[in-house]
Homo-oligomer: A and B are copies of this chain.
Amino acid sequence: MAGKTNKRETEEKTDFVRPSGRNYDELRPVIIKPDYLDYADGSAYIEMGKTKVVAAATVEDKVPQFLKGTGSGWITAEYSMLPRSTEKRTPRERAVGKISGRTQEIQRLIGRALRASTDLGLLGERTIIIDCDVIQADGGTRTASVNAGCIALAICFKNMLERGQIDTFPLKHLVAAVSVGIVQKKQLLDLDYLEDSQAEVDMNVVQVDNGHLVEVQATGEKIAFSRTELARLLKLADKGIEEIFKIQRSVLRKLHPVFVAF
């Protein structure tokens, strides 16, 4: 089996051409519109290629049971797709009567990413809910949700500061995410749906802006993968995430002086 693996690793440059014509280490065009909604406590709209997500922050004056009396806050995320965000219509989860494992997995990932970037002790006993609603889905909706969620959260914190709800800006780091994977033996950055659906290895990486990792989820959908492959995919992800950080910074700095620190 080792021989077979080596073969795969050395043959990495296959004939595979990305459907979009992108280079293997090229992100899709990223557009972020901050303050997209009138009523949310913070919001952002993101496009990563055809993938389109609205993220909205809501401040609630309560915390989960295990935080009561600690003075500390919490961040949680909800994720949903419009039924016709997808090529084939996806029935609403309210109709099916239960939240799918995929949805729950994604919600938990987004929540962890945003909590890891925040000093929860500065929030007081409040919960920030980040609603991520997918208008259109072409792969990478969970990573787009993290990327937009970070902006919605940053704006929400700015508004809380202005309202006097908090004294110190609680976001420690920008946080961003990207998917990488192996498709037809080729390592690719930012998979779209067509690529994702045929990936041999699928991986989501979440990082904060000092280069450290918050979450690594790598899955061999069809084949097992070596430690070397894992390392290469992590490097590819790092490249994409640094580009997203630049866009996030640019959007935030235009918005308000408090974001200049990022």
Contacts and interface: CB of A to CB of B under 8 A. Distances in A.
Interface string A75-104: 000101011111101001111011111001
A92 to B, nearest CB: 7
Nearest to A58: B89
Interface stretch (A18-26, A179-187, A218-226, A241-249): A218-226
B220 A213 contact: yes
Interface stretch (A38-46, A139-147, A157-165): A38-46
A68 interface: no
B220 A212 contact: yes
Contacts of A84: 37, 39-40, 43, 56-58, 131
Size range of the chain A interface in the assembly: 35 or more
Number of copies: 6
B224 A210 contact: yes
Contact of A105 (B1, B56, B105, B135): B105
B78 A83 contact: yes
A52 to B, nearest CB: 9
Contact of A58 (B83, B213, B223): B83
A217 interface: yes
A234 interface: yes
Contacts of A105: 101, 104-105, 108
A224 B214 contact: yes
Contacts of A214: 219-220, 224
A95 B80 CA distance: 11
A162 to B, nearest CB: 18
Contact of A54 (B131, B135, B231): B135
B78 A212 contact: no
Contact of A94 (B1, B92, B207): B92
A2 interface: yes
11 contacts: A2-B211, A37-B85, A57-B84, A82-B133, A98-B98, A104-B104, A104-B105, A116-B224, A207-B224, A217-B218, A231-B231
Given A37-B85, A56-B82, A83-B133, 5 more contacts: A94-B94, A94-B97, A173-B224, A213-B224, A213-B226
Interface of A: 1-2, 5, 37-40, 43, 50, 54, 56-58, 60, 78, 80, 82-87, 89, 92-95, 97-101, 104-105, 107-108, 112, 116, 129, 131, 133, 135-136, 173, 207-208, 210-227, 230-231, 234
